[in-house]
Amino acid sequence: WREAQDTPPNLFLRMLEDPTKPEIPVTAFEHPQPALKEVRKQLIKYKRSDGVELNANLYLPPGYDKERDGRLPCLMWAYPREFKSADAAGQISSSPFSFVRGSWGRPTFWLLRGYAIFDDPKMPIVGEGDSEPNDSFVEQLQINAQAAVDCVVEQLGIADPDRIAIGGHSYGAYMTAHLLAHTDLFRAGICRSGAYNRTLTPFGFQSEERTYWEATD
């Protein structure tokens, strides 16, 4: 099995008893979306203000040149997750070498409209010890988002700070609504298929095991 950012996964047969023999290709899949072939992908590491390590995948449009093209509009697509330790929150769950493909559920095709995509910037909600993650959900969303914006604007110099959007699906849509309401970081937001009324999930949601009546705040 072999793949690269611009090469779709294909299978090869290797004869272990004689490693000098050339590999035999089993499949020969061509790039299904040639328009994305020159997209560049980078794994970016950064930290939020309390020191929790974060990461995201940065995608840049085909042919983009920072010196020539300057700063880009940027779309961030994220999903918050709960953790009981800061170390677990900083884990890396993707590879910078995997094949770049577009799908209906990801924002990849916005690259063809000249956007930079900051995909899956980590939005950990950490509750260590006796604290539960959702005790400080909004506050942690704010510092996660601030760290992501600082990264693309200051650390990387890629994004136009006046043209950054945030989006997410389901719990990511719930996150987006909170960030639009509680910060001035984003020009727009995409809330796709979100559940915003916690009274409709009174017996827990995501990793939250408390009932609505046990944690009314």
Q: Do β-strands 24-25 and 12-13 pair in parallel, antiparallel, or remain unpaired?
A: antiparallel
**Which residues make beta-bridge pairs with 189?**
166
Distance from C-alpha of 150 to C-alpha of 163, rounded to nearest angstrom: 13
The distance of Cα 62 from the centroid of its chain, to the nearest Å, equals 20
Span 65-79, mean pLDDT?
A: 97
Task: Determine the pLDDT at residue 133.
Answer: 79
60: pLDDT confidence band, cut at 50, 70 and 90? very high
Task: Determine the pLDDT at residue 183.
Answer: 97
The yes-or-no verdict on residue 217 having pLDDT over 80 is: no
Q: Tell me the one-letter amino acid at 48.
A: R
69: pLDDT confidence band, cut at 50, 70 and 90? very high
Distance from C-alpha of 87 to C-alpha of 116, rounded to nearest angstrom: 28
Per the listing, tokens 């939020």 go with: 48
pTM for the model:
0.91
Task: Determine the pLDDT at residue 208.
Answer: 81
Tens of pLDDT, residues 4-58: 999 999 999 998 888 888 999 999 999 999 999 999 999 999 999 999 999 999 9
Task: Determine the pLDDT at residue 204.
Answer: 82
Tens of pLDDT, residues 134-171: 889 999 999 999 999 999 999 999 999 999 999 999 99
Tens of pLDDT, residues 99-131: 999 998 999 999 999 999 999 999 999 988 888
